[in-house]
Structure 1
Amino acid sequence: MKLKEIAHSRTGDKGDIINISVIAFDEKNYSILQEQVTVTKVKKFLGETVQGEIRRYEVPTLGAMNFVMQKALRGGVTRSLRLDRHGKTLSSILLEMPIGDTNN
Structure 2
Amino acid sequence: NRLYIGWFGCLMIPTLLTAASCYIIAFIAAPPVDIDGIREPVAGSLLYGNNIISGAVIPSSNAIGIHFYPIWEAASVEEWLYNGGPYQLIVFHFLLGV
Report the TM-score, using the length of structure 1 for normalisation: 0.26
Higher helix residue share: 2
Choose between structure 1 and 2 for higher RCO, CA contacts under 8 A separated by at least 6 residues: 1
Report the TM-score, using the length of structure 2 for normalisation: 0.27
Higher strand residue share: 1
Larger Cα-atom Rg: 2
